[in-house]
Amino acid sequence: EAQVTQNPRYLITVTGKKLTVTCSQNMNHEYMSWYRQDPGLGLRQIYYSMNVEVTDKGDVPEGYKVSRKEKRNFPLILESPSPNQTSLYFCASSLSNVWTAASGGNQPQHFGDGTRLSIL
């Protein structure tokens, strides 16, 4: 089954304790992205990756890091979490950059089920 898998689904932790949220997709997608969802704000992009070893900042990258060593994995790293990073996080992937005409049109993004992080 085609899917995007995030772990953990829920995490409560304390300020300053490094954590990693893993994301894995089994669709051989080139493009992966991380979003955070906050009430009244919709989803905002944190980081994205066009392909292996190619990552870049989204709209709200402060306090986060990512890596893309393999095509299927795109972990989100919080080196020193703070309470303002308490949120619901989603990883997403798509066949290619969503606007590239060469991809045959725009590919919808496939989302994981989310990771709810609480930073105390």
Partner 1 sequence: AQSVAQPEDQVNVAEGNPLTVKCTYSVSGNPYLFWYVQYPNRGLQFLLKYITGDNLVKGSYGFEAEFNKSQTSFHLKKPSALVSDSALYFCAVSPHSSNTGKLIFGQGTTLQVKP
By the criterion CB under 8 A, which residues form the site for partner 1? 4, 31, 33, 35, 40-45, 48, 50, 56, 58-59, 90, 92, 94, 97-100, 105-106, 108-114
Q: With contact defined as beta carbons under 8 Å apart, do 34 and 66 qualify?
A: yes
Tokens encoding 18: 């490094």
Residue closer to partner 1 by CB (options 66, 92) is 92
Partners of residue 47 on adjacent β-strands: 34, 57
Please, what is the minimum distance in Å from the beta carbon of residue 77 to partner 1? 20
Q: Which is nearer to partner 1, 16 or 108 (CB)?
A: 108
In angstroms, the CA 109 to CA 44 distance is 14
